[in-house]
Structure 1
Amino acid sequence: MSTTAFGDFLRFYRSRVPLTQEELSERTGLSTRAISDMERGRTLSPQFRTVQLLVGGLGLRGEEAAEFTALARVSRVAGAEERPDAPFAVTSCSLPPVLIELTGRESEKKLLDGFAADASSSSRLQIAVVHGAPGAGKTALAVDAGHRLGARFADGCVFLDLRGTDAEPLTPDKAAHRLLRSFGVDERQIPADPDDKLSLYRSQLRDRTVLLVLDNAENEAQVRPLLASSPGTLVLLTSRRTMTGLDARHRLPLELLPLNRSVELLRAVTGPDRLDAEPDAAERVAELCGGLPLALLIAGNRLTSRPQWTIGHLAEQLEDERRRLSVLRAGDLQVRAAFEISYHQLSSAAATLFRRLALVTSPEVSVALAAVLVDDAEESLEELADASLLGISETPGRYTRHDLLHVFAAERLELDDDPAAVLKARTRLRHWLLDTATGAALFFDHDMPAERAGPVHDKESAARWLELELENWRGALRSAVAEGEHDRVLALAQAMHWYSDMHGVGELWREVFSAGAHAARRLGNAKGAAEQLNYLSWALYALCGRPHEALAVHEEAAAEPIDDTLTEAWNCYYGSAIRRRLGELEKAVSLGRRSVEEFQRAGYLIGENLALSLLGLMLHTAGDLGEAAEVQQLSVDQHRKAGGDDELLSMLLIRLATTLAAAGQVIAAMDLLDEAESLFHRHSNTAGTARVQHGRGVVLMDAGRFGEAREQLLAALGEARLSDHRVEIMARLAELADAAGDSAQAREYRVRALAECDRYDTPAVRVTAAKLVAALK
């Protein structure tokens, strides 16, 4: 059949309606020129989507529609046979070869597969933007897509490097010229005028279905003229910039590789035998490369080119931050050079902020924190994010930065910033973090009023800020200790007392209160030193499971030369808790009674109520449930009458509920636990909720309600803070598994509990450990 048959029938059906070419163009969205070329046989391979538009525009039905579609199919086959030259013959636009198999990007490949499928069924141009940090592997992903997906497009794949990171990126005019050559247009037919050239390019693309890969784009202005409408075509655009100005149907931010995929890529480059011989060192190299594919590729190449090296030797080289970027260099591949290109394209303000972010400890930064370092911080943060030198955090208003860019920023800070200005910025940041953390912690203080300060304005925002900025304010504390800023260190440690009761881990508070005690002593503040040592003893026995060490610190606190009733009350309070952990119940009860008396003498009701509740715990442990319930009920009643803090009340309720349950008053205990949980929920206190769930699980288990007990204990396990609670929870879960006949699950819980026991040194934990060992035999 002649390849002009399709054009003849198109003309016949159009005349039968009748429609002019212009009217059919309006109906179908196809250009008048495209319709004219098909009728004259100049377009020999109309695409399926084009044919479907014509069928609809001409109103064809049934056999006529089927015949018309079949004619188009025959025309495409015949047209391909009549065109001996490859449609994309220009070498500069050919798809680069795949030098190493793309590794660790399976999910991204699936997404690109979906983008290609969307393009085949869409009547509009499909644009997919792949953006990411320098060295993230954008080009490798695009080249892989070209080789895998090009055959799905009738006219194949066209690849063009737009040279967006070069000193002179391709202009739209030059890019259009190269693309026209790739379409087979003779050099003599390409207009010299840029506008005419772009018009010809658009007309050529309009009737083709291609996978058009535009790699390494500079900005939206460079690529927008190249985005001609072509149904069925997919434009795959890669750039370091996010290209937010483009109306892209699909966006794919290329994240850094997680550790397991980083090791896979290193294995692909280096070979499995070498990595299998040093798995730990290989994992460390992958960690130090920060998940950046370019860094991993360079590391692998260095190993393959130096067979005498061990992987451990390379890891040792990378450990030194000041040398790391120099080590990550192989031939013309350099991580530093990749970063420098993006850095030198920044505005002066954004470049300054980028460098000064090296002063920030955490890999995340907020707008408020960045504003301490530079003016107009939000605009600069957005510029850095658009350049993929920062990522966007899942928490609104925060930005992320990966390790190697932090190392590079530190280099540029030393090279490009005035040392005096850096010192001022460093000091300003440290003071802001310490002052803000101190103010935030005071929202949890039951004795001192807190005031709005910066990003913190109430208890909820304070809790959120302290958690999000933990790494930063902890780093600021360490710097303040090193700088001898004792006043600020002590102020922060004092403010953290009540906040620490429900937040943070043992090692954090061990560090904070140790620093506070040191600062107080350097300031000659004996009372402050005693307070901080008491808080430190609490962290040691309650959170770190080190009661012997806690006792030594507590005795230091008691030895401070002060005469203060309230401090003495706290000494007795913490001493009572420590003695209980050491199994010295008589001393624990005696100190508990004395702490109540001292708090009463001092007129400090909050302390009195806490001491009454703790005394009840001592009496409960000693077996006197009657008096235990009595003093704990008194603590609750006094706290309610005074209108005390909800979260403190919840802790008092949990202790009373535990005693009542032990005395057989299960219903009353459950009511108190329900009340405590509702109060903790009101303040989003997950640690407190876990303590309620732990207590409820024990009560339910003792009542024989095993299924409900297991549910509560499992919920508590993930958030349990106290040193002995996790051991008890897992031991209880093992017993429940035994009762359910699941010996494997029981064994797993006992092994985990035994491992947890190794972290703590208390008589009770040692007894539990012996029982666990016996049960495992």
Structure 2
Amino acid sequence: MTTSTSDGLGQHLRALRLGAGLSQEQLAEAAGISVRALADLERGRTRGPQRRTVQALSRALALDPDEARALEAAAAPGRNRACPATGPGAANVLSLPRSVRDFTARDHDLDDLDAVADTLDPVDPPVVVVAGAPGLGKTAFAVRAAHRLSPRFPDGQFHLDLRAMDPEPVPPGDALARLLSALGVAGRSLPQDPEDRAGLFRSLTAARRLLIVLDNAADENQLRPLLPATGASFTIITSRDSLTGLEATHRVDLPLLRREEAVELISRIVGPQRVAREAQAARDLADRCGRLPLALRIAGQRLAARPHETLTKLAALLACEERRLDLLEAGDLKVRAAFALSYRQLDEVSQLLLRRCALAEGPDASLETAALLTGVPLREAGLRLEQLCVRGLLQADAEAERYRFHDLLRLFAAAQLAVQDDGTSRGAALDRTARWMLARATAAALQFDAEHHSAAAGDPDPPTAPTGRDRARAWLEAERHQWLAAFRHAHTAGWHRQILDAAEAMHWFSDLTQHWPQWLDVFRCSVHAARALGSPHEEATHLNYLAWAHNFCARDAPAALEAADRALAVARTCGDPLQTGWALGYGAGALRRLGRMDQAVARLRASADCHRDNPTAKGRLALLTTLNALGETLGQLGRADEALELHLNSLEACRQGHPGLTPHMLTIHRAITLRHLGNAFTALGRWQEAEPSLRQALTAFEEADVPIWSGLVRLGLGRVLRHLDRPSEARTVLTAALHTLTAHHHPLQAEAATELRTLDRTRY
């Protein structure tokens, strides 16, 4: 019976082992290889062991140099047969797919891969991970990159789909079998043990320049055996999983396309002339597709197949969110199907979290909101939300523990919610979330109340409550959409007392955030709640809050006057002098904005008369506010001397103090008075006296973190500095004023811009 060269290797190795008096287990342990690998060598099943394996066996057998060379010579022929043929005629069963002709954008990321290839280190062959949400075009990018890099890797370019979305992804052993086959290893020479296959793969790739695309990878365990250990190979991996456990990788996180890039992709698919004819519709189409490459391709290919259909028509169809995912299908390309593949991979609790997050209001959801909507404990919810981010189904905020959907994924989650969650369970989730959010918002807002400012009083979870005004404000701002949704839910559910308590707690905080139009919704709800409870005192109070919101948030003077008049009627009917005075004051503010200045002055004087006889802290505060408003109105009428006298009296009242008011609130009202005083000096042309009043007011507002008032003071101070011929200081102050007033949508931003232009004309 004849013996092949590889059989000779096996017989030779066995003879050496027996001569050394070693069992297979002893030799395997000494050489650092598996017993199965050694057995396969001796039986001729492994034909081409790598040189490192032969050298390890030689050391373990204590062979002299001649014996070691003989063992290496016996191994070499089998190793050579395992090498693939290379060159133009070589067959490649894992050849690269076709790169799409209309591939768009991603130039920066492709350049990054070029740079990685330029610095390729054979000791540490590069591995690139391209991860991200479904539909981002990861495979298209990897294939494009592979074709672009292929001239650098003449020994072969391979593409292997690891089928992560299948019920059973490709096992590492099977993937190695396919890679080894592509490298020329015949079936009968293929090691049976996956570890041995991995060893053979590392041996064969060590001496070659290969480009390997491992597409649609499931996890790190599937990938690790498939990565070259040494040599000049380059591996590109795509996965919906972030593969954060994979060591020493270069990562490419593909973003959504920019709007102009999305339009360019549509243009390449349907033709530039067609897009040029409907440029705005193309931009709308890009937005409706969420700038997701898969959705854009589907929309583009639908249009390409329908040359007479307009982009405007398709953009209009996609404007309907209920139909959007149904329309984003073209042949076997379906956005919904791409999302569904990832969704089916989740366990039931993670699916529930993804669905219920679609119930969250606003652009994102906090960990608290997600836990409340699902009933999942906070810690478990946090871990699962992070995993949803790892799988590309949610996006984590860069700074806070908050999570957001891609627009189309939100629609998919909402569709799953409608199918899988009945109305009762959804209603219970919204009830639970709304009650908790209202309670926390009430407790947080009370920290700004002039009389009740105990930290975390009434909070639903005191250990996690935001304590201190800075944290309370941060929470109220971050969760604004969610607690406002709780107000609306409570209004629908008839939770009148909870609404009134929350709105009452928030009316002080609302002064700090006058640029929020949502205060109209809050105080409309509270007015309705007070009326439903038959409480005229509360109805008058909250009608006044509503008048304030129309005056200062919406800048709607007619609506403010209507609400103030309703408050005045209710307050007089129930004999409430405090709310009567406030209603007169808010009505005066609306009249002033309507240009009815004499009527405004009359109402303010009547308001002051209501408050003068009220010795309570609330009465003193109301009188101070009214006198400041009266002084401002008189100043606008050109009666600056009268205005100045009023503001000086108000400032003296602030110095004397008001029992029952917190130092913080007194500081705020003193700063408001100083601002009015500075403006009164300005109206009289007394610039030197105006400056210190305005600077003191600015310092107080900045320390209290009330940016809208800081912006208004800067506007007045900049004007004063211009008249004092200090243009450099004036420019700095006015620029800051314009920035703040613009950010808060204040109408005086136009006045700040005018002051800056005046400064420029004066300078030149």
| TM-score in terms of structure 2 length | 0.81
% identical equivalent positions: 37
Measured after TM superposition, the shift of residue 133 of structure 1 is: 0.8
Distance, in Å, in 1 between the alignment partners of 2:674 and 2:589 is 18
Query: How far, CA to CA, are the matches of 1:319 and 1:343 in structure 2?
Result: 25
Quote how far apart the aligned CAs of 1:689 are: 2.8
Q: Deviations over 1:201-221 (max 9, x none)?
A: 011122233333211110111
Aligned counterpart, 1:458:
468
> 2:166 corresponds to which residue?
166
Q: How many angstroms apart in 2 are the aligned matches of 1:169 and 1:325?
A: 27
Compared CA separation, residues 110 and 727, structure 1 to 2 (3 A): same
Counting only pairs closer than 5 Å after superposition, residues 599-638 of structure 1 correspond to structure 2 as 599-602=611-614, 603=616, 604=618, 605-638=620-653
Shift of 1:187: 4.1
Deviates more, 1:88-97 or 1:124-133: 88-97
> Counterpart of 1:176 in structure 2: which amino acid?
L
In 2: Cα distance, 1:566 partner to 1:126 partner = 75
Report if aligned partners of 2:546, 2:563 keep a CA contact under 8 Å in 1. yes
Matches of 1:88 and 1:239 in 2, distance apart? 32
State the structure with more CA Rg: 2
In 2: Cα distance, 1:170 partner to 1:537 partner: 66
Bigger shift: 637-646 or 442-451?
A: 637-646
Task: Using the TM superposition, give the Cα deviation of residue 499 of structure 1 relative to its aligned residue in structure 2, in angstroms.
Answer: 1.8
The superposition leaves residues 373-405 of structure 1 with CA deviations (integer Å, 9 ceiling, x where unpaired) of: 231211221221121111111232111211111
Quick one: structure 1 residues 341 and 440, their matched pair in 2 at CA, closer, same or farther if it must change by over 3 Å? same
In structure 1, the residue matched to 2:51 is 33
Distance 1:204 1:572, change over 3 A: same
Match of 1:341 in 2: 341
Aligned to 2:596: 584
Shift of 1:683: 4.3
Work out which of the residue numbers 557, 564, 568 in structure 1 matches 2:567.
557
Question: What is the Cα deviation at residue 240 of structure 1?
Answer: 0.6
Residue range with higher mean Cα deviation, 450-459 or 232-241: 450-459
Deviations 1:689-730 (A, max 9, x none): 322322222222233333432332222223214743122122
- The within-5 A match list for 1:404-443 is 404-443=408-447
Deviations 1:60-107 (A, max 9, x none): xxxxxxxxxxxxxxxxxxx9xx99733995544211111243223233
Does the CA-based 8 Å contact 1:506-1:540 persist in structure 2?
Answer: no
Q: Which residue is equivalent to 1:211?
A: 211
Matched residue type, 2:294 = L
Structure 1 match to 2:729: 708
Give yes or no for contact 2:205–2:231 (8 Å, CA) kept in 1. Answer: no
1:729 corresponds to 2:764? no
Letter in 2 for 1:679: A
How far apart, CA to CA, are the structure 2 residues paired with 1:554 and 1:366?
A: 37
Question: Within 2, Cα distance between the matches of 1:328 and 1:248?
Answer: 38
Change (3 A) 1:327 1:597: same
Aligned position for 1:367: 367
Partner in structure 1 of residue 275 of structure 2: 275
Q: Deviations over 1:446-482 (max 9, x none)?
A: 2333541344322112211222222222333333334
Aligned position for 2:12 = none
Structure 2 distance, partners of 1:220, 1:83, is: 28
Pair 1:229–1:494, CA change in 2 (3 A): same
**Alpha carbons of 1:275 and 1:483: their partners in 2 closer, same or farther (altered >3 Å)?**
farther
Residues matched between the structures, number = 667
The answer to whether 1:224 aligns with 2:236 is no
TM-score of the aligned structures, taking structure 1 as reference length: 0.80
Pairing of 1:540-555 with structure 2 (within 5 A): 540-555=550-565
SS at match of 2:452: coil
Q: Secondary structure of 1:208's match?
A: coil
d(CA) in 2 for partners of 1:535 and 1:705?
41
Q: Which amino acid aligns with 1:638?
A: A
**Counterpart AA for 1:491:** D
* In structure 2, distance between residues paired with 1:253 and 1:589: 62
Which of residues 387, 391, 397 in structure 1 aligns to 2:401?
A: 397
Provide structure 1 residue ranges, at least 5 long, that are not aligned to the other structure. Answer: 1-30, 38-78, 742-777
Deviation at 1:297, TM superposition (A): 0.9
Aligned to 2:29: none
Q: Which moved more, 1:307-316 or 1:84-93?
A: 84-93
CA–CA distance in structure 2, aligned partners of residues 213 and 652 of structure 1: 70
State yes or no: 1:85 paired with 2:86. yes
Deviates further, 667-676 or 524-533: 667-676
Using a 3 Å threshold, how does the CA distance of structure 1 residues 501 and 624 change in structure 2: closer, same or farther? same
Q: Is the 8 A contact 1:363 1:403 kept in 2?
A: no
**Cα gap change, 1:649/1:388 in structure 2, threshold over 3 Å: closer, same or farther?**
farther
Using the TM superposition, give the Cα deviation of residue 138 of structure 1 relative to its aligned residue in structure 2, in angstroms. 1.0
Is the 2:601–2:630 Cα contact (8 Å) retained in structure 1? yes
Is the CA contact (8 Å cut-off) linking 1:129 and 1:248 kept in structure 2? Answer: no
Q: Aligned with 1:545: secondary structure? A: coil
Question: Quick one: which amino acid aligns to residue 735 of structure 1?
Answer: T
Cα distance in 1 between the residues matched to 2:753 and 2:365: 37
**Residue 589 to residue 337, structure 1, CA distance change in 2 (3 Å):** same
1:126 positional shift: 2.6
Q: Which amino acid aligns with 2:98?
A: P
Residues 206 and 231, structure 2, Cα contact 8 Å, conserved in 1: yes
Per the alignment, residue 473 of structure 1 pairs with 483
Partner amino acid, structure 1, of 2:340: E
Aligned partner of residue 246 in structure 1, secondary structure: coil
Q: Map of 1:211-290 to 2, 5 A cutoff?
A: 211-290=211-290
Question: What per-residue deviation string (whole Å, max 9, x for no partner) do you get for residues 484-530 of structure 1?
Answer: 44333333333332222221535322333233323332333323332
The answer on 1:681 being equivalent to 2:702 is: yes
Aligned partner letter, 2:497: D
- In the TM superposition, what is the alpha-carbon distance from 1:35 to its structure 2 partner? 12
Distance 1:348 1:383 in 2: 14
Partners of 1:220 and 1:497 in 2: CA distance = 53
